[in-house]
Amino acid sequence: MAGTQSGESGEGWKVGLLIAVIVLAGGGAGWGALWALELPFAFVGGIVGAVLAFVLFSYLYYGR
């Protein structure tokens, strides 16, 4: 039983790391897109991009 718990926790940090990377990439893409257009509120694009990336990942990974 202890082997199962350590296996589950091992998978948990991998999924967490994957979520963090995807959210950072989405935020960076949103920020970069608005920054390239020289808009003064590029940080909003970063926030929106991160949220959209998280929602998309959650939908694809966990299902409906």
* Residues 14, 55, 26, 57, Cα dihedral to 10°: 40
pLDDT of 64 above 70? no
What's the pLDDT score for residue 7? 55
pLDDT of 39 above 70? yes
Burial class (CB in 10 A: 0-12, 13-18, 19+), 49: buried
What's the pLDDT score for residue 1? 47
pTM confidence score: 0.71
pLDDT of 47 above 50? yes
* Cβ contact 47:27 at 8 Å: yes
Can you tell me the mean pLDDT for 29-55? Answer: 87
Computed over every residue of the chain, the mean pLDDT equals: 82
